[in-house]
Amino acid sequence: MNIILFGPPGAGKGTQAKNLVKKLGNYQVSTGDMLRDEIKNETNIGKKIINYMNEGKFVDDDIVNKLIKKVVFDPQKNGRLIFDGYPRTLDQAKKLDLMLTDSDQKINFIFFLNVSKDIIIQRIEKRKIIERRSDDDLNTILKRYDTYMETTKPVLNYYSNKTNFNEIDGGLKIMEITDKINNILKV
Ligand code: AMP
């Protein structure tokens, strides 16, 4: 079962992805984590993207799509993908569809965790203290939220009329969101 978790930074995608990994034995595909690894390992990609990441801007579609391609075409992960933070642009959404078709896969469920700016700010402030992420200062948070809202509208439109699209109130408690997702997945 392939699943997309979609929603602004701080909506709880990562937490729900980890729950699904535990429950289903699937693979979490977090482009944020993959990009942070590139920076940590000081790769060529890492050097190119560090400023974008620290400023809360989106990384180039080509870079992100290439990272995702390796995962989608990995036979061990086929049909067991939980996308967390990807796709974020229309180009990425369309490329993902092509990659899935070419690897004989589809998206079974899309979950949009919808949450207000106020709640996201509170949550990211908490996460900043716990995880000490360098891109988590308040200005970056606001920039990331605004970038997200501007850029992902077309992605939301692209997915929202599909039959496998589900909107969930991301302001609910973690367990409540998990229950809603599990009910829809019937797991
Ligand atoms: P995240 O951990 O998903 O909140 O992502 C952290 C940062 O990584 C974002 O603010 C972007 O700079 C970058 N990033 C993550 N995923 C993507 C993506 N799909 N497209 C472009 N940039 C991304």
Structure tokens belonging to residue 134 = 């360098």
Does residue 9 contact residue 145 with C-beta atoms inside 8 Å? yes
Give the per-residue pLDDT at 135: 61
d(CA 47, CA 164): 38
Residue 4, φ and ψ in degrees, nearest 5: -110, 130
Looking from the CA of residue 86, the nearest atom of ligand 1 is 19
With a CB cutoff of 8 Å and minimum separation 6, the contacts of 109 are 1, 3, 4, 164, 166, 184, 185
Q: Is the CB of 8 under 6 A from ligand 1?
A: no
Q: Is the preceding peptide bond at 87 cis, omega within 30 degrees of 0?
A: yes
Q: From CA 46, how far away is CA 38, in angstroms rounded? A: 4
In short, whether 88's Cβ falls inside 6 Å of ligand 1 is: yes
Predicted pLDDT at 98: 98
Ordered alpha helix ranges (H), the chain: 13-24, 31-40, 44-54, 61-72, 90-102, 117-131, 138-160, 174-185
Helix H or strand E encompassing 114: strand 109-114
Q: What is the pLDDT of residue 139?
A: 76
Atom of ligand 1 nearest to the CA of 13: 3
pLDDT at res. 166: 98
* Two structure tokens written together for 109: 């469920």
Strands 165-169 and 109-114: parallel
- Report the separation in Å between the CA atom of 34 and the middle of ligand 1, taken as the mean of its atom positions: 9
Per-residue pLDDT of the chain (187 residues; tens, 9 = 90+): 999 999 988 789 999 999 999 999 999 999 999 999 999 999 999 999 999 998 888 999 999 999 999 999 999 999 999 999 999 999 999 999 999 999 999 999 999 999 888 887 887 778 777 776 666 677 777 788 888 888 888 999 999 999 999 999 999 999 999 999 999 999 9
Residue 2 alpha carbon to ligand 1 centre in Å: 20
**Rg of the Cα trace of the chain?**
16
